[in-house]
Amino acid sequence: MNIAVIRGDGIGPEIVGEALNILNIIAEKFNLKFNYQDVYMGGCAIDKFGEPLPDVSVKACLNSDAVLLGAVGGPKWDLQQPENRPEKGLLKLRNALGVYANIRPAKMFNALKSACPLRDDIANKGIDFIVIRELTGGIYFGEHFINEDKDFARDVMTYSKLEIERIAKIAFETARIRNKKVTSVDKANVLATSRIWREIVNNIAKDYSDIELNHMYVDNASMQIVKDPSQFDVILTENMFGDILSDEASQITGSIGLIPSASLGADNTPWLYEPIHGSAPDIAGQNKANPIGTILAAAMMLRYSFKLEDAARAIEQAVNKILDEGWRTGDIFDAKHDDKNKLLGCKEIAEAIGERI
């Protein structure tokens, strides 16, 4: 299994380094072999090649079986022209890989209930759902127009049957290995794209009679996520709604340092795995970063790209265990609400996870 490794900028090299240490432990335990190839993207690529994602990096990613990414960007490159900023590298990479489905779990760890901003009676019911967001269509990729006087602008939202069908299938397949419920979120009372979205999702649902499907307007969904998140299993939605709802969903679980994401595409192309946070330049190089989001992204890679469910679960269980035991990095350290909290650095918490595996 060949993995393209993008360490990136800021805390990227630290958190990716720890995720690779965990993968090496998994390789030993499950008798697997992972080959890693380092790939430059982001600020470090601008420094070395003069651009955020040189062709040589694209090629290396396309030749791999999966791509593991830390994070890119930082103040050093803030004055770059917009088309040459580190984050452009990420957009170019997503495009090159053709990844059209972004999968983001919103899971609250029992040990971290005190970090949940919701009322205790809501948090106690548990939060464990997945947002599946369409990633390459919709208003972000339609025409963007501003007139010369800058007093009129237009953004165009489009969706095709094919785009809706392929993302809907991923949602139903995901629900099948979870709690068998899909909530499709749209704005079908106003938008034409949402009206065909709803019809096409209903059609796909006919092939998944074991899965319960309901539809929800996006304004209601944003309210229900904070009112009763336990009602959700898989949320399926388009690009912009998913962008907003997945951020809301990650916030109610506590820390952004803990959440992974996967971006999936066609069967014959490599898929992309990364934590949801940025490069955290404020704590870079200080052994303070939380590597768990990246370690869980590596677990998603084992599950989705390599179909190694047992290995993925071994990582997730080890993460649960060290959190239950009270081990914390600074971002989730909360001695005020929990006197059993013990503070560890990035390296040490990853070592603890490795030992539990």
Q: Which residues bind ligand NAD (CB under 6 A)?
A: 11, 71-74, 87, 90, 256-257, 274, 277-283, 289-290, 293, 331
Which whole-number Å values give the CA distances from 201 to 49, 101, 179, 210, 215, in the listed order? 44, 15, 18, 15, 9
Give yes or no: 247 in active site: yes
The answer to whether residues 251 and 117 touch, using CB atoms and an 8 Å cutoff, is: yes
307: left (phi over 0), alpha (psi -120 to 50) or beta: left
When the beta carbons of 7 and 113 are compared against ligand NAD, the nearer one is 7
Taking the complex as a whole, how short is the minimal distance between the CB of residue 293 and ligand NAD, in angstroms? 6
Of the residues 128, 140, 321, 347, only one is catalytic, namely 140
Q: How far apart are CA 180 and CA 166, in angstroms?
A: 18
Give yes or no: 187 in active site: yes
Of the residues 76, 92, 180, 243, only one is catalytic, namely 243
The token pair that represents 175 in the structure block: 């629900």
Give yes or no: 121 in active site: no
Taking the complex as a whole, how short is the minimal distance between the CB of residue 243 and ligand NAD, in angstroms? 12
When the beta carbons of 13 and 188 are compared against ligand NAD, the nearer one is 13
Taking the complex as a whole, how short is the minimal distance between the CB of residue 11 and ligand NAD, in angstroms? 6
What Rg value do the Cα atoms of the chain yield, rounded?
20
Taking the complex as a whole, how short is the minimal distance between the CB of residue 349 and ligand NAD, in angstroms? 10
DSSP symbols for 123-167: HTT--EEEEEEE-SSSTTTS-EEE-TTSS-EEE-----HHHHHHH
Taking the complex as a whole, how short is the minimal distance between the CB of residue 23 and ligand NAD, in angstroms? 18
When the beta carbons of 42 and 229 are compared against ligand NAD, the nearer one is 42
When the beta carbons of 114 and 230 are compared against ligand NAD, the nearer one is 114
Of the residues 120, 155, 247, 282, only one is catalytic, namely 247
Of the residues 219, 228, 310, 324, only one is catalytic, namely 219
Which ranges in the chain belong to alpha helices (H)? 12-30, 43-49, 55-62, 86-97, 120-123, 161-176, 192-205, 218-227, 239-251, 292-304, 309-324, 346-356
When the beta carbons of 166 and 281 are compared against ligand NAD, the nearer one is 281
The answer to whether residues 105 and 260 touch, using CB atoms and an 8 Å cutoff, is: yes
Give yes or no: 120 in active site: no
Give yes or no: 243 in active site: yes
Of the residues 180, 181, 187, 321, only one is catalytic, namely 187
Positions annotated as catalytic residues are: 140, 187, 219, 243, 247
